[in-house]
């Protein structure tokens, strides 16, 4: 039975995570998909095609993606190559302190350019991507025409 994991499951958005799929057949072709819905309800997705190794595992940090949103060995490719379903939308986190982005990771059998509601993943999991660590303080800056935020550590 296939299993997909992300380690750590909860992390800051600028920290690397490790995605691993286990329990596949040796040399099985699979599609890994990452998706999230932003605070405006816009969906972003990335997908990559992989061939499982002899142990039935896929690790984007060790195995090259054969195509999809990217090709080659990119440990964070599923996160870095997220694209909007609607053209000209940008992935922006507005509530940086209150909630994380929830990234859903799924693995599908075969090469899937599109997936519909009838397509069931072999396995799935969620990763939390936070933009502020515990104890951080966010101070808005408004000085003349300058706008920004100062983040102070605890």
pLDDT tens digits, one per residue of 43-95: 999 999 999 999 999 999 999 999 999 999 999 999 999 999 999 999 999 88
Q: Check if the beta carbon of residue 90 is closer than 8 Å to that of residue 67.
A: no
Task: Could you please state the CATH topology (level 3) that the domain comprising 3-152 is classified under.
Answer: Immunoglobulin-like (2.60.40)
- Give the whole-angstrom CA distance, residue 132 versus residue 97: 6
- Residue 14, pLDDT > 80, answer yes
Report the candidate in 92, 20, 7 with the shortest Cα–Cα distance to residue 52: 20
- Count, residues in the chain: 154
Report the candidate in 98, 105, 146 with the shortest Cα–Cα distance to residue 122: 105
Q: Check if the beta carbon of residue 136 is closer than 8 Å to that of residue 101.
A: no
pLDDT of residue 76: 97
- Residue 117, pLDDT > 80, answer no
Q: How confident is the model at residue 115 (pLDDT cuts 50, 70, 90)?
A: confident
Report strand pairing: 10-12 vs 83-84.
unpaired
- For the chain, give every domain's residue range: 3-152
pLDDT of residue 116: 79
Mean pLDDT of the chain: 95
- With a pLDDT cut of 70, the percent of the chain lying above it is 100
The partner residues of 105 in beta bridges, in order of sequence, read 34, 125
Report strand pairing: 101-109 vs 18-22.
unpaired
């Amino acid at each position: 039975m296939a299993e997909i994991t992300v380690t750590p499951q909860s992390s800051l958005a600028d920290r690397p995570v490790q995605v691993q799929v286990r329990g596949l057949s040796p040399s099985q072709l699979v599609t890994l998909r990452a998706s999230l819905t932003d605070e405006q309800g816009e969906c972003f997705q990335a997908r990559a095609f992989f061939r499982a190794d002899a142990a039935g595992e896929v690790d984007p940090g060790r195995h090259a993606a054969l195509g999809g949103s990217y090709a080659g060995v990119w440990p964070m490719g599923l996160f870095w190559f997220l694209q909007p379903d609607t053209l000209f939308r940008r992935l922006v986190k507005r509530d940086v302190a209150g909630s994380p982005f929830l990234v859903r990771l799924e693995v599908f059998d075969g090469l899937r350019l599109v997936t519909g509601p009838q397509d069931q993943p072999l396995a799935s999991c969620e990763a939390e991507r936070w933009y502020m660590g515990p104890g951080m303080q966010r101070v808005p800056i408004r000085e003349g025409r300058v706008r920004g935020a100062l983040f102070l550590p605890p």
